[in-house]
Amino acid sequence: MKHVSFLLLLAFTVFAGEKLSAQSKKTATAPTTQFDTYVQQAVQDWNVPGLTVTVVKEGRVVFKKGYGVRVLGKPDAVNTQTLFAMASTTKAMTAACLGMLVDEGKLRWDDAVIDILPDFQFYDPAVTREVRVRDLLIHNTGVGNADYLWAAMQIPSDEILRRVRLVKPSYSFRSSFIYQNIMYLAAGKVIEKVSGMPWEVFIRKRIFEPLNMTRTKAMFKDVADENRAKPHIDIKDTIRLVDSRTEEGLVDAVGPAGSVWTCPDDVAAWMQCMLDSGRFAGKALLKPATWAELFKPQTLVTDSQFYPTQRLTKPSWKTYGLGWFQHDYRGHRVNFHTGSLTGMVAIHGQLPDQKVAVYVQGNLDHVEIRHAIMYRAFDEFGLGSPRDWSKELRQLYGDLRQKTKLAEQKQDSLRVLNTKPSLALTNYVGSYSSPLYGKAEVTIQAGKLHVALNNLLTGRLDHWHFDTFQMVYDQFWNGRDPISFELNTQGNVAKLVWNGAELTKVLQGDGKTVAGGQ
């Protein structure tokens, strides 16, 4: 009897153990299944052509999947090998590259940039003297958004940096925060000068190869794989494919700010490394102190420079580290960064105390499903919460779009009807130039003015009122922008003003500017 009782007890124990094991497996897989179902529905709700999601928890890849298609209307499905633009999530990689040079004793975070790049100067000589390497990474130099230096002209990287000395400051040095990309280009030049390798070679040798990121490319010009997502944009509730090869190529000029392309199979290793003190597969890319420095809050981020998501997350603080935005969420710190190019988005988020990271990439312009999936992943794999971030963020961004439409209607209402230009259209024809903004050529085509900005952005000019026109871009995804002409005291056209950029008219023949135009 004792023997029988023992066998029964043993059988019960085994059964109970198997049942417990099955329950454990069910518990372990449940978040993955729920999360997958949630993402599938969100992709439909946001009308995203294609998307990838990767989640890392406690050093393991717990979720990795592609959704939708690479190109709308074509059957090629997104998978875990599909390349998407990392865009500005590249910045964290550039910061890590600088950290490696710090580890080697070749650089210090507080080295003066002018000592490394003597030709890199600011509008204010005092700022030129004081800018340190870490300042290049935290958007506090006083230089506002200067993306026109790469997105509206085709000039080499060195020329982009040379023109920074012509950019008037938007605020005093280290007094505020305005997000911008040019300083990360300068950071890449620091890497090149100190290491002897161009940034795109350094990042390949020091990050991609050690992490076995075999499909990842540092520059868009090197993305030749057919398994890559194509960009799309929502124009009046219609999703359209964008021929943004030009912009994607232009971003190579500021590569350290956002030119890397990757896929889930590769980026998972980068996520694991950044969660695990800069280590991967038993090897350390960074010393622990340097890794910690990357995530140390460096500067405060203003409300106006943060994301609309703050209306829902209601953070108590918002900071920026070295290539990472930061804020508190449900009592936990979040490190994250978004990336955006025309028609492409990304987000890399960390919930470090829960050892959870998520990476999302999509091929629809500024689609904020990326934030929804990030916060849902934090809740699903870290904190536990049924909150429907997709629904709430669709409502939030829908309201913001409606406010934008109302603002545009209000602006339209300020148009003075039944006016005409001061001069005949032929008087506006000609070349306009600026040492900062480049050149514009105004011509007449089919009875209307037409403008070409740096032989890159082109479009017709529809008369608006007086000497103001609406530029309707041939690159439809850019929409329209106002362009005004200013007359000098002699009544001649002297300047063209585009988005605040002033270009002076050049006289025919001698190349001089119009008198009174300066």
* Domain map (residue ranges) of the chain: 27-406, 425-506
Q: pTM of the prediction?
A: 0.91
Strands 430-434 and 501-506: antiparallel
What is the total residue count of the chain?
Answer: 518
**Contact at 8 Å (CB) between 375 and 389?**
yes
User: Is CATH 1.20.1270.30 correct for 425-506?
Assistant: no
Q: Which residues of the chain have pLDDT under 50?
A: 1-29, 515-518
What is the C-alpha to C-alpha distance for residues 239 and 320, in angstroms, rounded to an integer?
33
Beta strands in 58-138 (DSSP E): 60-68, 84-85
What is the phi-psi region of residue 190: left when phi exceeds 0, alpha when psi lies from -120 to 50, beta otherwise? Answer: alpha
Amino acid at 329: Y
**Contact at 8 Å (CB) between 189 and 161?**
yes
Residue 123 has what DSSP assignment? S
Residue 354 CB contacts under 8 Å (≥ 6 apart), including other chains: 57, 332, 378, 381, 382, 383
H or E segment to which residue 270 belongs:
helix 264-275
Closest CA to 239 of 42, 50, 40: 50
User: Which strands form 299-300's sheet, in the order they lie side by side?
Assistant: 60-68, 50-57, 356-362, 344-351, 332-341, 325-329, 318-320, 299-300
Q: Which residue has the tokens 């209607």?
A: 409
Write b or e for each residue in 5-25: b if 16 or more Cβ atoms lie within 10 A of its Cβ, otherwise e: eeeeeeeeeeeeeeeeeeeee
Instruction: Compute the C-alpha angle 193/199/200, nearest 5°.
Output: 150
pLDDT of 509 reads: 54
**Contact at 8 Å (CB) between 226 and 219?**
no
Query: Is it true that 27-406 and 425-506 share their CATH fold?
Result: no
User: Is CATH 3.40.710.10 correct for 27-406?
Assistant: yes
pLDDT of 511 reads: 54
pLDDT of 30 reads: 52
What is the C-alpha to C-alpha distance for residues 40 and 468, in angstroms, rounded to an integer?
46
pLDDT of 285 reads: 97
pLDDT of 29 reads: 46
